């Protein structure tokens, strides 16, 4: 009798649990036993759950979203003033037609008819990114290492070699296969200013699309340095030689500017009082 009673109670309990787990809402898991023990409370990235302070927007629920920052928002880049300034929106805007020819989205554009590449970018003849030079004493001789160019090489291999080639001569695998034509030899482009090189990588140029989604401004400026090294083997020679080991030092690392930005005159207002 007791066995039947216990069995009946267990059967009833199991039935309640099973039927309680059946719900009409397809997004609901129904009745669960201690779900926190096996269900992660983390939410999925790039998903807008449509919930704000307890209110739920069913039109947004489970909708994919890149969650991009609001237009004009300033990202956080640390406390180094030079790095922060470098990462801010570039003052030179892309040509107006780039909105359609290069698919740029979320950018301000120059006025129709203006050509920032041949004007403002051409006049920008300095690189705001300083070279990080390491000088190390090795066997009584000073050995130099350009850390900036070493890092830029990795970026070049990952993003540029397939078209521009390892030597920057325009003979990358994509060119040799015949898939693309017209990739220049950097040695023939030493008349381009630093601003024009940055413009071409950041916004795109010719058949090359914008690399702004893949590389930040600091990385692009390092690539501009790397391109200059292709054009001039002694490009960083003066920067290296400017780093001098003091007596008793075995190694030192310094940031060296290849060319400083022009000094912008500041208008002053005389106090007539």
pLDDT for 81 equals 87
For the segment 32-63, what is each residue's pLDDT rounded down to a tens digit?
666 666 666 566 666 666 666 667 777 766 66
- % of the chain with per-residue pLDDT over 70: 74
pLDDT for 252 equals 95
Tell me, yes or no, whether 266 lies in a domain: no
Tokens of 32: 């669960």
Tell me, yes or no, whether 76 lies in a domain: no
Q: Is the pLDDT of residue 75 over 60?
A: yes
pLDDT for 65 equals 61
Tell me, yes or no, whether 192 lies in a domain: yes
Tell me, yes or no, whether 3 lies in a domain: no
Tell me, yes or no, whether 32 lies in a domain: no
Tell me, yes or no, whether 62 lies in a domain: no
Domain count, the chain: 1
Q: Is the pLDDT of residue 267 over 60?
A: no
Q: Is the pLDDT of residue 272 over 60?
A: no
pLDDT for 166 equals 95
Report the mean per-residue pLDDT for the chain. 84
| Lowest-confidence pick of 62-76, 167-181, 242-256 | 62-76
Which is more confident, 100 or 28? 100
pLDDT for 273 equals 43
Q: Is the pLDDT of residue 67 over 60?
A: no
pLDDT for 262 equals 80
Tell me, yes or no, whether 6 lies in a domain: no
For the segment 126-137, what is each residue's pLDDT rounded down to a tens digit?
999 999 999 999
Tell me, yes or no, whether 12 lies in a domain: no
Give, in order, the Cα–Cα distances in Å from 264 to each of 117, 258, 267: 21, 18, 10
Range(s) of the domain holding residue 205: 81-256
For the segment 224-251, what is each residue's pLDDT rounded down to a tens digit?
999 999 999 999 999 999 999 988 889 9
* Whole-prediction pTM: 0.72
Mean pLDDT of the 67-73 span? 62
- Assign residue 237 the CATH number of its domain: 1.10.760.10
Q: Is the pLDDT of residue 27 over 60?
A: yes
């Amino acid at each position: 009798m007791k066995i039947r009673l216990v069995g009946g109670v267990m059967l009833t309990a199991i039935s309640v649990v099973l039927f309680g787990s059946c719900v009409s809402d397809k997004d609901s898991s129904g009745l669960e036993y201690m779900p926190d023990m096996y269900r992660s409370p983390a939410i999925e990235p790039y998903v807008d759950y449509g919930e704000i302070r307890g209110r739920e927007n069913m039109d947004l629920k489970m909708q994919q979203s890149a969650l991009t920052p609001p237009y004009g928002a300033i990202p956080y880049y640390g406390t180094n003033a030079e790095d922060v300034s470098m990462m801010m929106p570039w003052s030179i805007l892309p040509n107006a037609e780039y909105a359609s020819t290069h698919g740029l989205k979320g950018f301000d554009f120059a006025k129709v008819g203006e050509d920032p590449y041949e004007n403002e970018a051409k006049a920008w003849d300095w690189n705001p990114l300083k070279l990080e030079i390491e000088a190390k004493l090795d066997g009584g001789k000073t050995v130099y290492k350009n850390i900036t160019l070493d890092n830029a090489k990795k970026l070049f291999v990952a993003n540029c070699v397939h078209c521009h080639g390892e030597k920057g001569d325009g003979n990358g695998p994509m060119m040799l296969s015949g898939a693309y034509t017209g990739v220049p030899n950097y040695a023939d482009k030493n008349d381009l200013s630093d601003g024009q090189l940055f413009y071409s990588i950041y916004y795109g140029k010719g058949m090359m699309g914008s690399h702004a989604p893949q590389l930040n401004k600091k990385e692009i400026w390092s690539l501009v340095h790397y391109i200059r090294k292709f054009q001039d083997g002694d490009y960083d020679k003066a920067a290296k030689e400017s780093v001098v080991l003091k007596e008793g030092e075995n190694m030192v690392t310094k940031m060296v500017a290849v060319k400083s930005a022009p000094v912008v005159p500041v208008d002053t207002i005389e106090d007539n009082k």
